[in-house]
Amino acid sequence: MANRQLTFSIFRYNPQTPEIKPYMQEYRLEELPGMTIFVALNKIREEQDPSLMFDFVCRAAICGSCAMVINGRPRLACKTLTKDLPAKITLLPLPVFKLIGDLSVDTGTWFRHLSLKTEAWVHTSKEFDPKAPEERMDNETALKIYEAERCIECGCCIAGCATANIREDFLGAAGINRVARFMIDPRDERTPEQYYEVVGSEEGAFGCMGLMACDDNCPMELPLQIQLAYVRRKMLAQGLKLKVEDKIAL
């Protein structure tokens, strides 16, 4: 059987040459066995159009660099096989994030900002003692932290999120999951009140409209829905407590 002829329709725009308006460009390519979008895009760049911009790093679905909208869905391009797609493949950059050019977007700045905003590091008053053995931790707890830590910050959940698309300051599933990771961690000394400051708002856990595209789109298959419910429960409890205290204060 002859290989399929694929047609790629790819979003083109270089912010350095704003006089050329955004447009869709078509490329034709013969499909090869086991071909991924990573292989296809590199072939197009090397054989047809060396100006084409896109991002790959690990090409093994570990680093989160290559998320793009593939036939309408945000996915990791490196692990998307062309055989699972029709012969016409449309590629767009992720929405929400700042465009660098063509399919390349600036997820790095967005996620660094997220880390700063949620103070996504272990808050502890303890000093590290290089001479002491490590503090003990239950292995189940370690595994639970790892489960939330697995997020690769690819941006698929943000790009596919209705709230993130209309509300610029929304933390999104990745942000809420990141907060959950530190909430679970016994080394982090932040109190529920402090977390409430971070996620107990419309920008955080309560901004979600519950469409749950994040859960469907996550290439790491993280239980984003469960993490959201966990954070919401914690924040709701804290919120109710605050309310009661407010009343007492009145």
Partner 1 sequence: MSTYKTFATDVLIIGAGLAGERTAIEVAKHGLDCIILSLVPPRRSHSTAAQGGMQASLGNCAMGEGDNPDIHFEDTVKGSDWGCEQDVARLFVETVPIAVREMAHWGVPWNRVVAGKRTLPDGRVIEEKKEKEGLITARDFGGTAYWRTCYTSDGTGHTLQYTMDSIVIKMGITVHDRVEAITLIHDGEKCLGVVARSLRTGELLVYTAKSTVIATGGYGRLYGVSTNAVINEGSGMFLALNTGIVPLGNMEAVQFHPTGIVPAGILVTEGARGDGGYLLDKNHHRFMPDYEPKKKELASRDVVSRRMTQHMRAGYGVESEHGLHLWLDIRHLGEKHIYTNLREIANICKNFLGIDPAKELIPVRPTQHYSMGGVRTNIDGHAYGLKGLFAVGEAACWDLHGFNRLGGNSLAETIVSGMVVGKKVAEYTLGAALEYSSRLVDDFVKKDEQRIKDLISGKNGNENVYQVRAEMEQTLMNYVGIFRNGPDLEKAVARLQELHERAQKVGLRSSGKGANPELASALRLPGMVRLALCIAYGALKRTESRGSHFREDYPRRDDVNWLKRTLAYWPEGSELPKLEYEPVTITELPPGDRGYGEQTGREEANHG
Determine if 152 is a binding residue for partner 1 (CB under 8 A): yes
Q: How far is the CB of 92 from partner 1 (least distance, A)?
A: 18
Which member of 31, 175, 185, 208 binds partner 1 (CB under 8 A)?
A: 185
Beta bridge partners of 26: 9
Determine if 217 is a binding residue for partner 1 (CB under 8 A): no
Which member of 2, 21, 72, 130 binds partner 1 (CB under 8 A)?
A: 130
Question: Of 47 and 202, which has the nearer Cβ to partner 1?
Answer: 47
Question: Of 141 and 191, which has the nearer Cβ to partner 1?
Answer: 141
- C-alpha separations of 109 from 32, 51, 155, 191, 192 in Å: 35, 24, 12, 28, 28
Token pair, residue 232, equals 């919401």
Determine if 125 is a binding residue for partner 1 (CB under 8 A): no
Determine if 85 is a binding residue for partner 1 (CB under 8 A): no
Contact present, 224 and 161 (Cβ < 8 Å): no
Determine if 177 is a binding residue for partner 1 (CB under 8 A): no
Determine if 15 is a binding residue for partner 1 (CB under 8 A): yes
Determine if 112 is a binding residue for partner 1 (CB under 8 A): yes
DSSP 201: S
Determine if 17 is a binding residue for partner 1 (CB under 8 A): yes
Closest CA to 180 of 162, 199, 157: 199
DSSP string across 154-186: -SHHHHT-HHHHH-TT--HHHHHHHHHHHHH-T
Determine if 157 is a binding residue for partner 1 (CB under 8 A): no
Residue 100: what residue type? I
- Beta-strand relationship, 73-76 and 67-70: antiparallel
Which member of 62, 87, 166, 244 binds partner 1 (CB under 8 A)?
A: 62
Closest CA to 223 of 113, 125, 146: 146
Name the site residues for partner 1 (rule: CB under 8 A): 14-17, 33-34, 36, 45-47, 49-53, 55-65, 79, 81, 100-101, 104, 106-109, 111-112, 115-116, 119-122, 124, 126, 128, 130, 132-139, 141-143, 145-146, 149-150, 152-153, 185, 187-188
